[in-house]
A and B are shown apart, each in its own frame.
Chain A
Amino acid sequence: MTSSMNPAIVATDLRKSYGDKVVLDGVDLMITEGTIFALLGPNGAGKTTTVQILSTLIKADGGTARVFGHDLAREPDAVRALIGVTGQFSAVDNLLTARENLTLMADLCHLGRAAGRRRIADLLDQFDLTEAAGKPVSTYSGGMRRRLDLAMTLVGEPRVIFLDEPTTGLDPRSRRAMWHIIRALVAEGVTILLTTQYLEEADQLADRVAFLDHGRLIAEGTPRELKRLIPGGHVVLQFADQEGLDSAARTLQTATRDDAALTLQVPSDGGVGSLRSLLDQLDRASISVAGLSVHTPDLDDVFLTLTGQPDTRASRPDHERAPTR
């Protein structure tokens, strides 16, 4: 990973609405060259719209954005020459074969005949598609199609790649293969803006993560920074009956009880030492525990904590929002 601090993408106050529905409500982004930036959020948060705007597919209603210094609105073609997009819906020609699809891209990128053929052979090899290269794409599996999609994006050697939910709908093996490819790209100095619903994916891949909710960035930082935003881990104790729960709650003062589920949530770092002392404490009080689970904070917790419940979100005052850096 290069540590140059060149900004590849700078977006300021991006806005977009469709009719009355505000999709993007002032989004600022700064993405450093050679890094992976993950945009996380539920369906309808505005992830795809952000990618569509930054990839010149649609125009923003307000705000500005630059890709390597080229303004999106004024020099769209200069931007298009630098970027590659692999969208949520596969952007391959289903009637053609993989080789024909890649040839189409090579021709549109104006690679020479020989250079194009070499690039196509390399990509087919790299993406493990050489064997299927002569078959129509309509016969491909989801994972193969996604790999071809990304290979087509790479024909023109873009410096910035937008990956809109690149692993949605893939099986675990294909997902890992895709992660491997994405890491290799960044190692070569490519900048990637990734959108995903999978927090684990962002955690695995991204240098920086931003949470998008209802068209606004509600938090941004490294995965580690974001996890620090929320209370630490906890242990959940399950009891067989109300009696056990009651006595345990008396013993462990710091715990939060859930009477309906007969569980007790005890703050803990999840380490072996603290677990042992917790169990010792329960033993001494002769409380029997039916089950126990250890919970360390992950980005899911961050996300749920930041977004809260739908009905409280509207009334939540602004100062409670996590700072966007």
Chain B
Amino acid sequence: MSTLSLAVRDSNTMLRRNLLHMRRYPSMTFLLIGIPIIILLLFVYVFGGTLGAGLGPSGDRSQYANYVTPGILLITVVSAAQGTAISVAMDMTEGIIARFRTMSIFRPSVLTGHVLGSLIQTMLSLAAVTGVALLVGFRPTANPVEWLAAVGVLAMITFALTWLSVALGLVSDSVETASNLPMPLILLPFLGSGFVPTDSMPTAVRLFADYQPFTPVMETLRGLLLGTGIGNNGAIAVVWCAVISVVCFLWAKSLYNRNRTA
């Protein structure tokens, strides 16, 4: 069997394993969907009136619901990534991982299984969160092609952050650490254009907000879903996602292959 078909076949087997885990323990998935929904409701119904007024002369709560949704979608991705880090770290404490290491299989398939499983889980979470956003006043103007592109962008950033969280799960020596390490990620949509436009921020914060990876992703999503200008944000988002994916894949792979002394 060629390396590629072995890789596909074993990754697929491991994906089925991870999907079974998710099906058997759905509480984790619900928890991960709950966080972005609570933040969405909080920002639309508590802060939405005031923050909406800041968007411009005609700004109000419903306009803010449109503005905040791309940021909430990234919160969803980050929340799911935290779940991935936890489940990878938990998996590494299981004896079955040692068994996989002594089998003649595509070695990274344990990791690709997690990544593919998380990708599916996150896309489902995103669909659920988008549904709630529509209920609270999110009114996208996207045509089918733009929707497809938006899904593609979300899949791209999810893929990148999932590899990051797999690496974070592997580098953690305990499940608690794995749960804490991805925490700062949840701040990034706030320290970007997710909740307020960056030109309202002081210079130092604005510079960080403009040049961190989440802002171009959110601006691209906003453009695709709501028809605002995208500019070069699309290209920057693709490059960021590609770089994060490749670096974190290599990092995760070397962490998985290292000699374990335990």
Name A residues whose Cβ lies closer than 8 Å to a Cβ of B: 18, 55-59, 77-78, 80-81, 83-85, 87, 89-96, 100, 104, 107-110, 136, 152-153, 156
Contact = CB atoms under 8 A, between A and B. Distances in A.
Given A87-B95, A92-B96, A108 B20 contact: no
Given A93-B17, A95-B20, A100-B20, A55 B102 contact: yes
B203 interface: no
A83 B105 CA distance: 13
Contacts of B99: 85, 87, 91, 152-153
Interface string B190-204: 000000000000000
Interface of B: 1, 9-10, 13, 16-17, 20-21, 24-25, 94-96, 98-105, 259-261
Contacts, number: 67
Given A91-B99, A104-B16, 19 more contacts: A56-B101, A57-B101, A58-B260, A80-B102, A80-B104, A81-B104, A84-B102, A85-B99, A87-B95, A91-B94, A93-B96, A95-B21, A95-B25, A96-B21, A107-B13, A107-B16, A108-B10, A109-B103, A110-B1
A9 B102 CA distance: 16
A93 B103 contact: no
A156 B95 contact: no
Nearest to B105: A108
Contacts of A18: 261
Nearest to A23: B261
Nearest to B90: A95
Given A91-B96, A91-B98, A92-B95, A58 B13 contact: no
Contacts of B96: 91-93
A83 B9 contact: no
Contacts of B102: 55-57, 80, 83-85
A160 to B, nearest CB: 11
A93 B13 CA distance: 14
A187 to B, nearest CB: 24
Residue among B95, B99, B259, B261 facing the most chain A CB atoms (10 A cut-off): B99
A92 B105 CA distance: 17
| Pairs A-B, 3 closest by C-beta atoms | A91-B99, A80-B104, A91-B95
B65 to A, nearest CB: 38
A153 B100 CA distance: 11
A93 B21 CA distance: 10
